[in-house]
Chain A
Amino acid sequence: EAQVTQNPRYLITVTGKKLTVTCSQNMNHEYMSWYRQDPGLGLRQIYYSMNVEVTDKGDVPEGYKVSRKEKRNFPLILESPSPNQTSLYFCASSRLAGVNEQFFGPGTRLTVL
Chain B
Amino acid sequence: LAKTTQPISMDSYEGQEVNITCSHNNIATNDYITWYQQFPSQGPRFIIQGYKTKVTNEVASLFIPADRKSSTLSLPRVSLSDTAVYYCLVGDLGFGNEKLTFGTGTRLTIIP
Binding site for B on A (CB under 8 A): 4, 31, 33, 35, 40-45, 48, 50, 56, 58-59, 88, 90, 92, 95-107, 109
| Contact residues of B: prevailing secondary structure | loop
In this complex, the member of A33, A41, A48, A98 whose beta carbon has the largest number of chain B beta carbons within 10 angstroms is A98
CB-based contact A99/B41 at 8 Å = no
Task: Report B71-97 residues with CB < 8 Å from chain A CB.
Answer: 87, 89-97
In this complex, the member of B44, B92, B98 whose beta carbon has the largest number of chain A beta carbons within 10 angstroms is B98
How far, in Å, is B37 (CB) from chain A's closest CB?
11
Binding site for A on B (CB under 8 A): 1, 31-32, 34, 36, 38, 41-46, 49, 87, 89-105
How far, in Å, is A72 (CB) from chain B's closest CB?
18
Residues in B neighbouring A100, C-beta threshold 8 A: 93-94
Given contacts A43-B102, A98-B97, A105-B43, 4 further A-B contacts (CB under 8 A): A44-B102, A59-B101, A100-B93, A102-B100
Residue of A nearest to B43 (CB): A104
Please judge, given known A-B contacts A42-B105, A58-B99, A96-B93, whether A101 and B46 are in contact too, CB under 8 Å. yes
Cα(A106)–Cα(B92), bound, Å: 26
Cα(A107)–Cα(B41), bound, Å: 7
Q: Out of B34, B45, B94, B104, which one reaches A41, CB within 8 Å?
A: B104
The 5 closest A-B pairs by CB, nearest first: A104-B43, A96-B94, A42-B104, A43-B102, A98-B94
Residue of A nearest to B90 (CB): A99
In this complex, the member of B31, B36, B43, B49 whose beta carbon has the largest number of chain A beta carbons within 10 angstroms is B43
